[in-house]
Amino acid sequence: MRIFKRMKDIAIAEINGVLDKTEDPINMLNYYVQELDEEILKGQQALANQIFVEKKQKLLLREMEELIAKRDRQAKLAVERGEEQIAKVALQEKLIHEKKLSLYREQYETITNQTIMLHQKVNELKDKVNELKHRRILLLSRANVAYSYKQMNNTMLSFDTDKTANGFARAEERILLMEAEAEASSYLSRPSQALPAHSIHATMEEEVQRELEKLKETTR
C-alpha cells in the first residue's frame, strides 16, 4: 500500500510541476506568440487562395469577352455573306454570353471586395502581432528583472550574518597568525647583532674614554 501511495504522490508532484511550468509567464508569452504566428500563416494562406480565385475569375471574364467579340465578328461576316441564319445563331450566342459576362462581372466585383477585406484583415493581424511581440520583449525584460530580484531577496533571506562574520573573524585570526609566524621566522634568520668583546679601536680609545667620563658625570 505504501508503494502505491508513493507512486500517487510522485504522479501528483509531476502533474503540479507541469502545471507550474505551463503557468510560467515566459512560456505563456512564447505560446501566445506562436499561436499568433500560426494564425498569420493561416491568414496568408487564405489570402493566397482568395487571390487565386480572383485571378481565375478575371481569366474567365477575359475568355468570355473574347468569345463575345468572336461571335460578333461571325455575325457581321454572315450578314455580309447573306447567311442570315448563321448570323442569327451567332447573335443568339453573343447575347447568351453577354448575360453570362454580366453575371461574371458581378461575381468578380464581389470577389475583389472580399480580397481587399481579407488583405486588410491579414495586415491588421500582422500589426497586432508585431505590437504584441514588442510588448512581449518588454514583459520578458520585466519578468527577468522580477526573477533576479526574487533570487537576490531569497539569497539575502537565507544569508547567515553571524556565521559569515564568525568566518571572517577566524580568517582574520589565521592571517594574523601567519603574519606573526613570518615575522618570527624573519627575526630568527637575521645574523647576531651582539657586540664583540674588546672591539674599541686603539686610535679612538682616548676619545671614547673622555666621552665615558662625561657620561659618568651626567649620571652622578
Domains of the chain: 2-168 (1.10.287)
What is the DSSP secondary structure assignment for residue 197, as one 8-state letter?
T
Please report the sign of the dihedral spanned by the C-alpha atoms of residue 99, residue 102, residue 105, residue 109.
Answer: negative
Q: Decide if 50 contacts 112 (C-beta within 8 A).
A: no
Element (H, E) at 14: helix 2-22
Q: With beta carbons less than 8 A apart as the criterion, state whether 61 and 104 touch.
A: yes
Q: What is the pLDDT of residue 112?
A: 94
> Contact, 30 vs 116, CB < 8 A?
no
The sign of the dihedral angle between the CA atoms of 103, 108, 113, 115 is: positive
Q: Given this model, what pLDDT does residue 8 score?
A: 45
- Over its length of 220 residues, how does the chain's per-residue pLDDT go in tens digits? 454 444 445 555 554 454 455 567 778 878 888 888 888 898 899 999 999 999 999 999 999 999 999 999 999 998 889 888 988 998 999 999 999 999 999 999 999 999 999 999 889 888 888 888 888 888 888 878 877 877 777 766 666 666 777 778 888 888 888 888 777 777 666 555 554 555 566 666 777 777 777 676 776 6
Q: Residue 214 and residue 201: Cα distance in Å, rounded?
A: 19
HSE (CB half, 13 Å, CA atoms) of 197? 0
Q: What is the pLDDT of residue 1?
A: 47
CA distance 35 to 130: 13
